[in-house]
Structure 1
Amino acid sequence: MIEFDYERLYGRMKSKGFNQSSLARKIGISPASLTNKLKGVPFRQDEMMNISKVLSISDEELATYFFTVKVQKTEHKQNA
């Protein structure tokens, strides 16, 4: 399963003065629902559009906020 990185979205929320609860209320979903989506439950298209409108995210930038794939960190073992 692909995991998406929402760090940029978190930063945009903070810069626009929103926390998860206030953003969820503004777009008409429960805070728990937004938390679940940020943890991996897929966003619906209308939710992405509403968040983009509230946070002033342009159509051209939308993919970087919602579709950046999380990079898996791997542990490298060195031979001693």
Structure 2
Amino acid sequence: MSFDYNKLRGRIVEIFSTQSNFASAMGWSERTLSLKMNGARSWKQTDICKAIQLLQLTIEDIPAYFFTPKVQRIELEHKESA
């Protein structure tokens, strides 16, 4: 399953101005962040805990920022034609 990180991207820019600044705060390279944001690498529980602190979020925010399923374009096109 793929996840939609658009809300997370927005919060990163809101708090850190750039994804590069956020990656540095996490102790990662920009490449590592890119792989996680694009679904090529998974977010570890420890990553999520650190990220919510840095992004000034709460535990209750985790599902919306890290576990929103990505809606497939094919599903949308099918629903629109129905």
Same fold flag (TM > 0.5): yes
Select the structure of larger CA radius of gyration. Answer: 1
Identity of aligned residues (%): 34
In structure 2, give the amino acid aligned to 1:50.
Answer: K
Q: In 2, distance between residues paired with 1:48 and 1:31? A: 17
* Equivalent position amino acid for 1:65 in 2: Y
The offset of 1:27, in angstroms, is 1.0
8 Å Cα contact 2:13/2:19 also seen in 1? no
- Aligned residue for 2:59? 59
1:31 is displaced (CA, Å) by 1.1
Q: Which amino acid aligns with 2:14?
A: S
Q: Matches of residues 63-74 of structure 1 in structure 2 within 5 Å?
A: 63-74=63-74
Instruction: Tell me, in whole angstroms, the C-alpha distance in 2 between the residues paired with 1:62 and 1:18.
Output: 21
- Runs of at least 5 residues in structure 2 that lack an aligned partner in the other structure: none
AA partner of residue 67 (structure 1): F
Q: In 2, Cα distance between the equivalents of 1:38 and 1:17?
A: 16
Give the AA of the match of 1:11: G
Relative to the length of structure 1, the TM-score reads 0.87
Does residue 25 of structure 2 align to residue 29 of structure 1?
no
| Cα RMSD after superposing both structures | 1.6
What is the one-letter code of the residue matched to 2:73? K
| TM-score, scaled to structure 2 | 0.85
- Which SS does the other structure have where 2:16 is aligned? coil
